[in-house]
Structure 1
Amino acid sequence: MSRTNTDTMEVSGGTPLAGEISVRGAKNLVPKAMVAAVLGDQPSTLTNVPRISDVTIVRELLELHGVTVRDGADGPHSLVLDPSRVEQATMGDIEVHAGSSRIPILLCGPLLHRVGHAFIPDLGGCRIGDRPINFHLDALRQFGAVVDKRPEGLQITAPNGLTGTQLELPYPSVGSTEQVLLTAVRAQGVTELRNAAVEPEIIDLICVLQKMGAIINLDTDRVIRITGVRRLGGYIHEALPDRMETASWACAALATGGEVFVRNARQVDLMTFLNVYRRAGGEFMVTHEGIRFWHPGGKLNAVALETDVHPGFMTDWQQPLVVALTQATGLSILHETVYENRLGFTEALVRLGAQIQVFTDCLGATPCRFGRRNYTHSAVISGPTSLRGADLTVPDLRGGFSYMIAALAAQGRSTLRGIDIFARGYENFLPKLEGLGAQVDLR
């Protein structure tokens, strides 16, 4: 895992990023594929694994539950997971990880199938909006689980086993869809999930489960039908590349007036992003080895943008792109429809000199859950503006990367505190920055 021995960085801005970086497996798939291995009775092999802290945390959680995890033929970039001796970890051991990850809730279904009970401590993750676990618990209850709420966490059992059911999501949540998939594949009977998430990482997880022996049908109307099976085997799977990291570096190239080749980036997962990138004035070239992104010179274009579930514009893409839009000519309009609190990062950009106004109104046509609920979930970005260095504290993973982009695009020096969070989702973050010519110093 890529870690720093400090949480503060000095950034000297004004230098275009130029060079090449590589992306590995998606942060939003790899930990879930690791959890899926618990469902099998044979070892699984996962390749293209990034060296990030989220993977380390899940590895430790699985080992606490009796899963043997070792590096594969590709060193730490491949994992062999043997679940043959799965057991329930002690409450004290699990509580060590309380607040560090939201993965424990996804372990419920696999553990209920394998050992009959599961304990879930307090959950962590980036604080970017309301991420209630109520649906996870309600879904588990519909499968036949019993949830006992205790001061230290949740004790979940399945005294009569788990049985297939019919569910419909009020919103196509990725986490809720993952919960249903990981629980339904070994439940007795058929499960039908309506209004499911269909992100590329969900499809890749379905591929993992199908390799293990699951029977899963995906309809075109966001309906997933899972026929439960009595046993699952192992899998051999290469994780799809991380489209969030790819977009982050692409926006860094655009905001700094640079050029970055992202090796292993995959066009099919980025088509919506690439369209907006081109509309904003950025250029890219797709090759069989990756995608090259660059600022072609001249003016960037203001755009109107709405985030949405796949195949819409991903919410994790908007934060780094907003930084680039501060350099576009005219008024760009952003409507965030996925997380209600994701625009808090713009306050720091304003301190850097950006002209951004946030609104509680829905500045877009996409149906939105946050309208008339007093959430600042729309923004107007006026540009181009000259950014200047400032002191910044990283709020979350994607917002923090956006601060980094802004500091690199600004004139003068900036101080970023809390950079350790980058280890959650960006492998070799500092070496990549330095390899692109960024002037950074740890403190």
Structure 2
Amino acid sequence: MNSLVKDAQKAGERVGLKSDQIVITGGNPLKGRIRVRGAKNLATKAMVAALLGETPSVLRDVPDISDVEVVRGLLEVYGVVVTSTVPGELQFDTSNVERAHFAEIDAHAGSSRIPILFCGPLLHRLGEARIPDLGGCRIGDRPIDFHLDALRAFGAVVDKSFEGIYITAPDGLKGANITLPYPSVGATEQVLLTAVRATGTTELKNAAIEPEIMDLIAILQKMGAIISVEPNRVILIEGVDRLVGYKHTALFDRNEVASWAAAALVTKGDIFVEGARQVEMMTFLNVFRKVGGAFDVEDDGIRFYRPEGDLKPVTIETDVHPGFMTDWQQPLIVALTQATGVSFVHETVYEDRFGFTDALNEMGANIVVHKEGLPDHPRRVARRDFEQAAVITGPTKLHGANVRVPDLRGGFSYLIAALGAEGVSTVSNVGIISRGYEHFIDKLEVLGADFVFEG
């Protein structure tokens, strides 16, 4: 059994998924109301931040996804008592944080990349951090050099061994001037989680400013941190001696909202996504409207639907916030296969995120991937050396097929394609989808999808 299959099975088991394979009969418009909870990309980082507090923390609207279970397991390895008395709410008691061995960390981390973000809090609490080999979705090279370089700038000593990475801070952590070569979300989170208790002031240039970053900053401020977000992607962090616990409701999951919106387009459906907010979705909503979708913004969520008429081709360039998120392009590409004309998607964030299109082509799509990008195509976002481009010609009829989920966002895109295709599709490795989509099987059922578990 290869590692991808094992990862999928473990992820599904963590959240009680019945099987790792489902059979979908396409053609039913998805209609109904579903709810999204807190963002995977915020909730897991907020859980790590709890390590910094000397008093208990409470995080609300936590999604029931396997990545949350991974972080919970890691916190418990370090002696944090994690409890839940209300669905969607976690309490963290960090009064007895203790050291853990590589083997324990590795057993709980699996393929997750979240352990790297434990480094700053653990250095402050224990004086050391141990990080096993890191995994994550297979969407291209995601080096941890940004993280390690940032930790070294604070005065950490990084040693590598056959077990993983051992990090210490013999002279303590001190504020630093750090300029990221790219506004990496993960590296920005690393600096924030490390700088808040470092001695002195840290200036972070070229920082990520995604809504999830702003929500993490809000959490750290509640804990007693002093953080200023300056113009031009500059963040100033004044280190403090002590942080306390927090009480916080997590920001909604923007990626899940965009995925269900794309599903409404592909299946000619009508989906109300409770918990979605307009402000954080503005860039996506503009593109959704250009494609031919319609939406109604309500106080408690957003309704996404497909009116009469053809879908329209668009040009998309992924970018860091406030640009079009890379996580949004995969589900939307499925919708673009049904647009009349030629669409262009320029992927500038990850260098290998179009691998999922092979299966879509097997299902009848007409997608050509240019691995060196399209340098002569008109652009607004600056071209990057490693970028790729996808040219989607439509509309094409999608038909059922047997497909294997390759990664989180690509996997949900396969579900969307299967739901909109003629005939029957078998989708395997669906456990990977549970890493970031809470109760997605239950939601499909509520929306009227025609499917059964197999195996």
TMscore range, shorter length: over 0.9
- Percent identical among aligned pairs is 62
Partner of 2:452: helix, strand, or coil? Answer: strand
Specify the code of the residue in structure 1 equivalent to 2:164.
G
Specify the code of the residue in structure 2 equivalent to 1:36.
A
1:59 alignment partner, one of 72, 76, 81: 72
Aligned equivalents of 2:129, 2:197: Cα separation in 1: 16
Match of 1:150 in 2: 161
Specify the code of the residue in structure 2 equivalent to 1:41.
E
Aligned equivalents of 1:442, 1:82: Cα separation in 2: 39
Structure 2, unaligned runs of 5 or more: 1-13
Aligned equivalents of 1:272, 1:169: Cα separation in 2: 24
Match of 2:230 in 1: 219
Shift of 1:2: 3.2
1:228 alignment partner, one of 239, 247, 261: 239
Residue 20 of structure 2 corresponds to residue 10 of structure 1: no
Match of 2:132 in 1: 121
Residue 84 of structure 2 corresponds to residue 71 of structure 1: yes
Match of 1:23 in 2: 36
1:101 alignment partner, one of 103, 108, 112: 112
Aligned equivalents of 1:271, 1:194: Cα separation in 2: 25
Misfit runs of 4+, over 4 Å: none
Match of 1:49 in 2: 62
For the aligned residues, what is the CA RMSD? 1.0
Structure 1, unaligned runs of 5 or more: none
1:291 alignment partner, one of 275, 290, 302: 302
Residue 47 of structure 2 corresponds to residue 34 of structure 1: yes
Q: Is the 8 A contact 1:171 1:195 kept in 2?
A: yes
Aligned equivalents of 2:161, 2:124: Cα separation in 1: 22
2:284 alignment partner, one of 273, 289, 293: 273
Match of 1:172 in 2: 183
- Give the TM-score, by structure 2 length: 0.95
Residue 255 of structure 2 corresponds to residue 244 of structure 1: yes
Deviations 1:335-354 (A, max 9, x none): 01000100111111100000
Specify the code of the residue in structure 1 equivalent to 2:383.
C
Shift of 1:364: 4.7
Aligned equivalents of 1:100, 1:330: Cα separation in 2: 39
1:418 alignment partner, one of 429, 432, 446: 429
Match of 1:367 in 2: 382
Match of 2:219 in 1: 208
- Give the TM-score, by structure 1 length: 0.97
Q: Aligned pair count?
A: 437
Specify the code of the residue in structure 2 equivalent to 1:355.
N
Q: Is the 8 A contact 1:214 1:227 kept in 2?
A: yes
1:427 alignment partner, one of 428, 432, 438: 438
Q: Is the 8 A contact 2:73 2:108 kept in 1?
A: no
Aligned equivalents of 1:127, 1:350: Cα separation in 2: 20
Q: Is the 8 A contact 1:10 1:413 kept in 2?
A: yes
Residue 427 of structure 2 corresponds to residue 396 of structure 1: no
Q: Is the 8 A contact 1:3 1:423 kept in 2?
A: no
Which range moved further: 239-248 or 96-105? 96-105
Aligned equivalents of 1:347, 1:32: Cα separation in 2: 33
Partner of 1:6: helix, strand, or coil? Answer: coil
Which range moved further: 167-176 or 99-108? 99-108
